[in-house]
């Protein structure tokens, strides 16, 4: 059952990702991105990483893509003036490099094949919570300073004049 | 644990089936005779004008940015709520410090006037400072 | 072995001072009516001063792994905390003096500066990859904002944009490397990762991970080929921020580079002060090549620059190359040489940038042509800049020479002659472009010969920067001793 679901959601994620990079209109790409992110969240659930799955949905599918969409709406390029993608040298090289990388990963995966062990209970919300508030407490608190700097930076840069 | 997510799966499947069924059935049954008036956008019965693609105000972007940051804050507090009873008062202090530091950010954006949606040019703090 | 969270608090006072100052700056900004007043500058000075005092003058007993192994409180971390805080202190003075920033809201600038400082504190002491990554982001994100602070100036916005794109890519590659390391070892503790890797033999994933992590660190110290962002960022950012980037984050980058590679891939031999590689990843060779490449590219491109800020940017790339020489030697003396060089570099580089601030306040430009005739227009600043430039070249009797002697001596002692030859040739090249500025200042006729006023406070600060550059050239033992004492890293 798990294998079936893995293949199903994996396929959805990969197809969504391909659609993201091949759509002409950026809005369509952004919507397919949501699909991909949801499918990845499902994969996280299958590996018992519940907290990660929740974060994936709340922050990535929820907030980050919303930001993407606002930027697309803000820039608002009319359909007939969307840039036409051409197969430039860089793009061809990029595709070649990506292909090479996939090939390499496949070889690596075969070479260092490890059976998937029993899923450890490290990704549940409770386990993450316990780690976050004991061993990784400092990291948690420092995150608040980072977020503070980010919020002030976001507002300051959006102002007409600092 | 995984079984609890079966509900979610059933929900997703039902949702997908419902949408597919509705779109499929109406395409199958409904007669199709498109005309120019029928294909135009429905705007409460008015004759539509202009494109529906309007440029958004940059303030939506600022709001979205601030939303992301506080969203991350909430997401980090989510495991805290789960383990709170076990860790007790210390966890309370820990989350308190976290929230206080971020409150400083909230105070900043309040002062900068980003919480007010309706504002005129004269009201912005930049202008106030210049006077 | 690790100190718990509550017990660690008393070893974390410098960080508290900086965080408290950040919060006070926000509060000050919220309650004050005039965002352009210098109050926030003075508040930051106080905060950073307190941090230096708590970190260096009155340090709580060093040699502990605190916060459940998140960060180390050791001599190495204390050294870098004092160094980066000192750089920040000088930069705050420079910023209060700079005309670029005068008409703008002040509090945000100092909030970003101090957040970066907090990040550098943590970066130099992090012993856990989660903490390490977070610290790196805490250094990077406010830095992007500092680079783009001159809103409305195209150059500054371009700088911020490039910085973000390169920074995000580098940190993405790095965290991918971290995730591979975590997958191989199952631990986020740097020392634990080292122990796990030492047991096995070199595998491709391990090599891949160590190279990917090197990309992230290489980006922070602006080593070639990860340096492309730095000239544009250095040119577009406000000059005080440029001075800050070229010293602070670079020093912190070296701290984390040394700590990470020496704890993960090497082990100290307490008797000889030498280190041996515990895992089969041959990173010294990789970094030796990077070092030679970095100094050569930095120096050769600097020759062609006509903008002084850009020239100093390339020269700071070259200096990162010199300092990498000490990193590849697998000896405590090599690390000592880096630490010593960083102290010397702090004063001479900040000094050079400070004169650039003073000159561009008056001339509104940073081209070499803006510096012509500075010898008669502002003799004191011109002499000071010449001293800094000669020190950067590494000419005796200035401090830069001693710094280079330490680096070269160790390289030759370890028998890496080719690297010493490359570095020596590079120093000759650097002499050419540094003296070009000096020649413009003293031997070329200015278009506008009016005197450039140097306020008394600026003059005093300049003296404070010149003095160590001169004194460390003749009497350097105390600093060298401090550097030697600071090499002891925790390897928990």
User: What is the pLDDT, as a whole number, of residue B126?
Assistant: 47
CATH level 3 topology of A1-77: 1.20.120
- Tell me the pLDDT band of A112, cut-offs 50, 70 and 90: low
Chain B nearest C-alpha distance from C457 (Å): 28
Mutation target for C interface from A108, A111, A117, A149: give the one with most C CBs within 10 A: A149
Token couple for B31: 């007669």
CA C391, CA C471: separation in Å to the nearest integer?
A: 12
Asked if residue C225 has a cis previous peptide bond (ω within 30° of 0), the answer is yes
- CB-CB contact of A16 with A39 (8 Å): yes
**What single string gives the DSSP state of each residue in C443-492?**
HS--S--PPPP--HHHHHHHHHHHHHHHHHHH--HHHHHHHHHHT-----
Q: In this complex, do B76 and A143 lie within 8 Å of one another by their Cβ atoms? A: yes
User: Partners for B (CB, 8 Å, 3+ pairs)?
Assistant: A, C
Q: In this complex, do B111 and C29 lie within 8 Å of one another by their Cβ atoms? A: yes
Q: In this complex, do B108 and C105 lie within 8 Å of one another by their Cβ atoms? A: no
CA C266, CA C279: separation in Å to the nearest integer?
A: 7
User: What is the pLDDT, as a whole number, of residue B130?
Assistant: 40
Q: First CA to last CA across chain B, in angstroms?
A: 62
Q: In this complex, do C35 and B129 lie within 8 Å of one another by their Cβ atoms? A: yes
For B58-130, CATH number?
1.20.58.1610
User: What is the pLDDT, as a whole number, of residue C274?
Assistant: 77
Classify residue A102 as exposed, middle or buried by CB count within 10 Å of its CB (0-12, 13-18, 19+): exposed
The answer for residues whose C-beta is within 8 angstroms of residue B52's C-beta and 6 or more apart is B41
Mutation target for C interface from B72, B104, B129, B131: give the one with most C CBs within 10 A: B104
Q: What angle do CA C416, C419, C425 make, to 5 degrees?
A: 140
Q: In this complex, do A162 and C115 lie within 8 Å of one another by their Cβ atoms? A: no
User: What is the pLDDT, as a whole number, of residue C355?
Assistant: 92
Mutation target for C interface from B76, B93, B95, B108: give the one with most C CBs within 10 A: B108
Q: In this complex, do A158 and B62 lie within 8 Å of one another by their Cβ atoms? A: yes
CA C404, CA C401: separation in Å to the nearest integer?
A: 5
The string of pLDDT tens digits covering residues C190-215 is 888 888 888 776 677 788 888 889 99
The string of pLDDT tens digits covering residues C262-277 is 888 887 776 677 787 7
Task: Delimit the domains of chain C by residue range.
Answer: 282-492
Looking at the partner chain, which of B5, B61, B78 has a beta carbon nearest the beta carbon of A71? B61
- pTM (predicted TM-score): 0.91
In A, minimum Cα distance to B99 occurs at A144
Contact list, B104 vs chain C (CB under 8 Å): 23, 26-27
- Find, among C331, C306, C303, the residue nearest to C317 by Cα: C303
- Tell me the pLDDT band of B1, cut-offs 50, 70 and 90: low
In B, minimum Cα distance to C35 occurs at B129
CA distances to B27, C93, C386 from C456, rounded to whole Å, are 83, 13, 20
**Ramachandran region, residue A6 (left: φ > 0; alpha: ψ -120 to 50; beta: rest):** alpha
Looking at the partner chain, which of B2, B75, B83 has a beta carbon nearest the beta carbon of A59? B75
Task: Delimit the domains of chain A by residue range.
Answer: 1-77, 121-162
Classify residue A10 as exposed, middle or buried by CB count within 10 Å of its CB (0-12, 13-18, 19+): middle
Comparing C233 with A24, the larger pLDDT belongs to C233
Question: What is the overall mean pLDDT for chain B?
Answer: 81
Question: What is the overall mean pLDDT for chain A?
Answer: 84
Q: Model ipTM? A: 0.90
Q: In this complex, do A160 and B78 lie within 8 Å of one another by their Cβ atoms? A: no
Interhelix angle for C154-185 vs C129-147, to 10°? 170
- CB-CB contact of C352 with C400 (8 Å): no
In A, minimum Cα distance to B107 occurs at A152
Average pLDDT over residues A96-119: 73
By the CB < 8 Å criterion, does B107 face chain C?
yes
CA distances to C128, C410, C450 from C492, rounded to whole Å, are 10, 27, 61
CA C125, CA A159: separation in Å to the nearest integer?
A: 35
Per-residue pLDDT of chain C (492 residues; tens, 9 = 90+): 688 888 888 888 999 999 999 999 999 999 887 777 788 899 999 999 999 998 877 666 667 888 888 888 888 999 999 999 999 999 999 998 888 888 788 889 999 999 999 999 999 999 999 999 999 999 999 999 999 998 888 889 899 999 999 999 999 999 999 988 888 888 888 888 888 888 776 677 788 888 889 999 999 888 888 888 999 999 999 999 999 999 999 999 999 999 998 888 887 776 677 787 777 677 888 889 999 999 999 999 999 888 999 999 999 999 999 999 999 888 888 999 999 999 999 999 999 999 999 988 888 888 888 888 888 888 899 999 999 999 999 888 899 999 999 999 999 998 889 999 999 999 999 999 999 999 988 888 887 778 888 888 889 999 999 999 999 888 888 888 888 888 877 654
CA C303, CA B74: separation in Å to the nearest integer?
A: 52
Comparing B96 with C489, the larger pLDDT belongs to B96
Going A35 to A38 to A40 to A42, the CA torsion angle's sign is negative
The answer for residues whose C-beta is within 8 angstroms of residue B101's C-beta and 6 or more apart is A141, A144, A145, A147, A148, C19, C23
The answer for residues whose C-beta is within 8 angstroms of residue C313's C-beta and 6 or more apart is C230, C231, C233, C234, C235, C242, C246
Q: Work out the percent of chain B whose per-residue pLDDT is above 70.
A: 88
pLDDT at A151 > cutoff 50: yes
Contact list, C27 vs chain B (CB under 8 Å): 104, 107
pLDDT at B128 > cutoff 80: no
């Amino acid at each position: 059952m798990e294998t079936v679901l893995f293949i199903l959601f994996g396929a959805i994620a990969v197809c969504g990702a391909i659609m993201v990079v091949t759509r002409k209109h950026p809005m369509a790409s952004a919507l397919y991105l949501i699909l991909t992110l949801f499918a990845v969240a499902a994969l996280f659930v299958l590996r018992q990483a519940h907290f990660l799955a929740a974060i994936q949905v709340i922050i990535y599918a929820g907030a980050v893509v919303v930001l993407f969409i606002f930027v697309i709406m803000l820039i608002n390029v009319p359909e007939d003036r969307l840039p036409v993608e051409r197969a430039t040298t860089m793009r061809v090289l990029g595709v070649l490099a990506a292909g090479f990388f996939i090939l390499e990963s496949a070889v690596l995966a075969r070479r260092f094949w490890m059976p998937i062990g029993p899923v450890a209970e490290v990704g549940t919300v409770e386990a993450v919570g316990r780690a976050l508030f004991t061993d990784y407490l400092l990291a948690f608190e420092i995150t608040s300073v980072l977020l503070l700097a980010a919020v002030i930076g976001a507002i300051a840069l959006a102002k007409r004049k600092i | 644990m995984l079984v609890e997510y079966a509900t979610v799966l059933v929900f997703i499947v039902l949702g997908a089936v419902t949408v597919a069924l509705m779109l499929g059935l109406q395409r199958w049954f409904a007669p199709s005779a498109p005309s120019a008036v029928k294909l135009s956008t429905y705007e409460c019965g008015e004759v539509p004008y202009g494109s529906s693609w309007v440029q958004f105000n940059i303030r939506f972007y600022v709001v979205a940015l601030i939303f992301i940051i506080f969203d991350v804050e909430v997401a980090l507090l989510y495991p805290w709520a789960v383990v709170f009873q076990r860790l007790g008062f210390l966890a309370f202090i820990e989350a308190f410090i976290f929230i206080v530091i971020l409150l400083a950010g909230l105070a900043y954006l309040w002062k900068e006037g980003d919480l007010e949606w309706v504002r005129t040019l004269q009201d912005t703090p930049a202008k106030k400072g210049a006077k | 072995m690790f100190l718990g969270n509550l017990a660690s608090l008393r070893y974390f006072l410098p960080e508290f001072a900086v965080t408290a100052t950040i919060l006070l700056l926000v509060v000050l900004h919220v309650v004050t009516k005039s965002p352009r007043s210098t109050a926030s500058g003075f508040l930051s000075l106080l905060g950073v001063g307190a941090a230096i005092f708590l970190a260096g003058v009155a340090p709580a007993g060093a040699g502990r792994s605190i916060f459940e192994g998140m960060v180390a409180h050791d001599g190495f971390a204390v050294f870098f905390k004092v160094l980066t805080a000192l750089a920040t202190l000088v930069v705050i003075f420079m910023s209060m003096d700079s005309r670029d920033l005068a008409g703008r809201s002040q509090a945000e600038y100092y909030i970003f500066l101090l957040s970066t400082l907090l990040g550098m504190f943590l970066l130099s002491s992090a012993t856990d990859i989660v903490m390490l990554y977070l610290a790196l982001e805490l250094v990077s994100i406010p830095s992007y904002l500092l680079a783009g602070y001159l809103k409305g100036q195209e150059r500054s916005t371009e700088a911020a944009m490039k910085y973000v794109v390169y920074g995000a890519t580098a940190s993405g590659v790095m965290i991918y490397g971290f995730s591979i390391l975590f997958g191989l070892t199952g631990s986020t503790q740097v020392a634990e990762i080292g122990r796990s890797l030492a047991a096995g033999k070199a595998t491709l994933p391990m090599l891949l991970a160590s190279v990917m992590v090197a990309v992230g660190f290489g980006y922070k110290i602006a080593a070639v080929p990860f340096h492309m962002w730095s000239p544009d960022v250095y040119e577009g950012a406000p000059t005080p921020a440029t001075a800050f980037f070229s010293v602070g984050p670079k020093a912190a980058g070296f701290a984390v580079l040394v700590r990470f590679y020496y704890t993960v891939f090497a082990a100290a031999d307490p008797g000889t002060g030498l280190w041996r590689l515990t895992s089969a990843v041959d990173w010294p060779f990789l970094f030796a090549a990077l070092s030679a490449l970095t100094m050569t590219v930095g120096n050769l491109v600097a020759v062609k620059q006509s903008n002084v800020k850009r020239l100093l940017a390339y020269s700071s790339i070259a200096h990162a190359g010199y300092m990498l020489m000490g990193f590849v030697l697998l000896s405590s003396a090599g690390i000592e040489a880096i630490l010593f060089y960083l102290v010397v570099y702090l004063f001479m580089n900040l000094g050079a940038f400070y004169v650039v601030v003073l000159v561009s306040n008056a001339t509104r430009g940073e081209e070499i042509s803006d510096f012509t005739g500075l010898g008669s227009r502002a003799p004191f600043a011109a002499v000071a800049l010449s001293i800094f430039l000669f020190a950067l070249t590494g000419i005796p009797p200035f401090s830069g020479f001693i710094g280079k002697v330490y680096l070269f001596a160790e390289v030759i002692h370890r028998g890496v002659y080719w690297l010493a030859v490359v570095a020596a040739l590079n120093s000759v090249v650097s002499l050419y472009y540094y003296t070009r500025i000096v020649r413009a200042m003293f031997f070329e006729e200015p278009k506008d010969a009016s005197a450039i006023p140097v306020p008394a406070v600026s003059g005093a600060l300049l003296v404070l920067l010149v003095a160590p550059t001169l004194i460390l050239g003749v009497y350097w033992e105390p600093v060298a001793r401090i550097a030697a004492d600071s090499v002891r890293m925790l390897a928990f």
